Structure 1
Amino acid sequence: MELFHCFGARPEHRVDTRQAVDMLAASGCRWLAVNTHTIDEVSRGDDLPIGYSTATLGSVRDALGAASPVRPVLNINHPTTAAEAIDRTRRAVEMTGLRIIKLEVLDEGFNLSQNAAVVEAATVLVGEGLEVWPLITPDAAVFADCVELGSTMVRVMGSPIGARRGIDPQWRSATDALLADATVPVMLDGGVGSVEHAVAAAEQGFSSILVNSCLFADGDPVAALREFRAAIDSVEKPTELVGR
């Protein structure tokens, strides 16, 4: 199971370049999520932020070095309409040359996916040759639409963003059904609040999990990521623990 993460959900979550690199090392994450919500404030792709402090695409990429296996992806975070998501994606692709898109279209409270708008935006962007990872609330028909249009991974919410409740009981049967029939990787993305939630997701069959705001609960996201990584690995490799 892969562990993905961002670098803060709110401005008070401060991550500089060194800490961003340390977080990636602790998690083993192969992907660097590049925020795009401030695209109107920058003139170069390298100045797009990683989180909400001084870390940027350029600074983190330079710190990682050319030999790093970590690949940047465009995080189209916080749009509330399909048109906004499409426009921002096109601009970010032009600025950076990056073509993997972590796509969302959220409600006005930035808590839940607007599924129909996500599918609308994803359809356009996949049609333009981009690799798109859409975020949806669990719905079999919407999931099937995402797969049919060509999404290479679908991100499924367990509970509202920032809720830290894990998989909401009302969505458990829907997520079970999606995982049983999935023909593409499925990420649990939304509502993860603890290591126990990550372990449960691994046991349930998710291909990957994304964590963010919960990393900052105790003020040390690097230590939190080490705990998540160790817990997930213990589920995947139980035989290695025998005799220890």
Structure 2
Amino acid sequence: MLAMVGWGLLAGAAILLAPKVVVEVDVSASPSPAVWAERAKALAEEWYPKLAELLRQPGWKPPAKVTLRFEPMEGVAGTAGDVIHISEAWVRDHPDDWGMVIHELVHVVQAYRNPVPGWITEGIADGIRYAKFEPQRDSALHDPDKSPYTDGYWSAGAFLTFVERWYDRSLFTRLNEAARRGRCTPEFWRRATGKSLEALWDEYKNWYRQTSEEKGRQPRLSDLPEQRGKGAGGE
């Protein structure tokens, strides 16, 4: 299975009702990764409905078609609308990087039209990638004193996962909807957790330092605490 580890039965009935996505592969500019591209297509077909359900919003539908376009380009990948541009060289040198596909698929689903802080956009994508698609990697968490959440990507993703697990199990869904509506305001965090964003960040930094001292190593994903049902937004 390409999607090696999911996050359980993600509202199974809702996924069955989710619209199927049409995934197209374009290797016209770089034919060499054709086999990898077909596996990426299968992965996208499996995970796109799950991502659409996780980032759902009443009255909103995600793009119904996604194109995976492989080409000679610098960097790793980038998404523009419903087209994911993927570096041929990156795929060649990192053939096991399926998480990259998930990260970019999240951007397709996000489809934000209102201005959204970059750290939220990338933090949601990497949080889903590392904590929900490939938790078996047990990724190390970046030192928050050196890499703040405003750096985005996994620095923000790990922080969001911390808040999700401790305060609000629907955080990714609610934050994504707030982003789509242009409502990523200080009030969002107070409603979701009962605390300000700054207070949550201080709490995360303190947890990281304490855990690092107790374990004598860099904290990892599996070290993040869980407390279901606590906080303003918990279950």
TM-score range, shorter chain: under 0.3
| Higher share in helix | 2
The structure with more strand, counted as a fraction of residues: 1
Question: Under a length normalisation based on structure 2, what TM-score does the superposition of the two structures give?
Answer: 0.26
Larger radius of gyration: 2
